[in-house]
Amino acid sequence: MKPAQSGKGDTGRIPVTNIQNMATVKVGVSGLNPGKLLAKAILIHGKLTGNVNFLNPIPDLVTFFAAITSLGNAITAASNFDRSLIIARNLRADELRLFIKQLAAYVQSVSNGDADMIISSGFEIRQKPGPKVQMTQVKNLVAAATLAEGEIYLSRDPVKAAKTYELDIKDLGFTGDGGTAGTPGTPTPGIGSGEWKHLESVTSSRFKAINLISGHIYQFRVRALGASGHGAHSDIAQVRAK
């Protein structure tokens, strides 16, 4: 166990610490069933008992141990699945869960973010999030007209750590022969809008654009959106709707 040091421990003195290097206590009680909660509480109680880094825990260890004992007895009593005893067990669990949260706050305050001190208390350290992944350009955007009129099928490669994808569309208008050619030609000027518009925010790598104008040439582009922001737009995919 790490001994108390000058400026640390339960002395009332708070040293100057680089905030970026401060460790954070992981409370870790959410979702724990009564049995696992009890085991966690026993571990913390054992680590805090006689720990010179934490001389005046809140709540005190006598009160904490009484709550541990109450939950242990309640778990045993509720083993016959009696509804009223299960309710009583859950109430004891809620009480112990609250005490653990209070102890976590105490340990955080006294330790001033010292990782070794936190670990000596029986609590774990909350892992700091890693660096945000920069969004890269979406690759291989493909657009293909389906057999249905005004319907275009799109697909693309995934981008690591992307949460969603923003799909844009541009209507270029009819081909020079009125849209009857099998291969898109030069659009007739002025018939399509010619402006990029947001079509949809999607998460799937495949998407179907519907209710488009038959015979019009459409362009599509897509970009990934993640925690770090937007990535670059993909290369443009162009196709004429049937």
Q: Which residue has the higher pLDDT, 84 or 129?
A: 84
Domain limits, the chain: 19-125, 142-240
Is the pLDDT at 137 greater than 60, yes or no?
A: yes
DSSP 17: -
Q: How do residues 224-238 score in pLDDT, each as one tens digit?
A: 999 888 999 999 999
- pLDDT of 96 reads 97
Q: Which residue has the higher pLDDT, 54 or 204?
A: 54
| Residue 33 pLDDT grade (very low, low, confident, very high; cuts 50, 70, 90) | very high
> For 201, phi and psi rounded to 5 degrees?
-105, 120
Q: How far is CA 101 from CA 48, 84, 104, 105, 226, in A?
A: 14, 26, 5, 6, 32
What is the arithmetic mean of pLDDT over 28-41? Answer: 95
Distance of CA 58 to the CA centre of its chain: 31
Is the pLDDT at 152 greater than 70, yes or no?
A: yes
Task: State how far the Cα of 17 lies from the Cα of 90, in Å rounded to an integer.
Answer: 40
What is the arithmetic mean of pLDDT over 77-90? Answer: 94
- The domain defined by 142-240 carries CATH number 1.20.1050.90: no
Q: How far is CA 142 from CA 55, 93, 148, 183, in A?
A: 65, 55, 17, 16
Q: Is 223 helix (H, G, I), strand (E, B) or coil?
A: strand
Q: What percent of the chain has pLDDT over 70?
A: 83
8 Å CB contact between 26 and 118: no
pTM of the model: 0.50
Q: How do residues 164-222 score in pLDDT, each as one tens digit?
A: 999 999 998 876 554 444 555 555 554 556 789 999 999 989 999 999 998 888 999 99
Distance of CA 57 to the CA centre of its chain: 32
Q: Is 122 helix (H, G, I), strand (E, B) or coil?
A: coil
8 Å CB contact between 142 and 155: yes
- pLDDT of 143 reads 95
The residue with tokens 């009890």 is 38
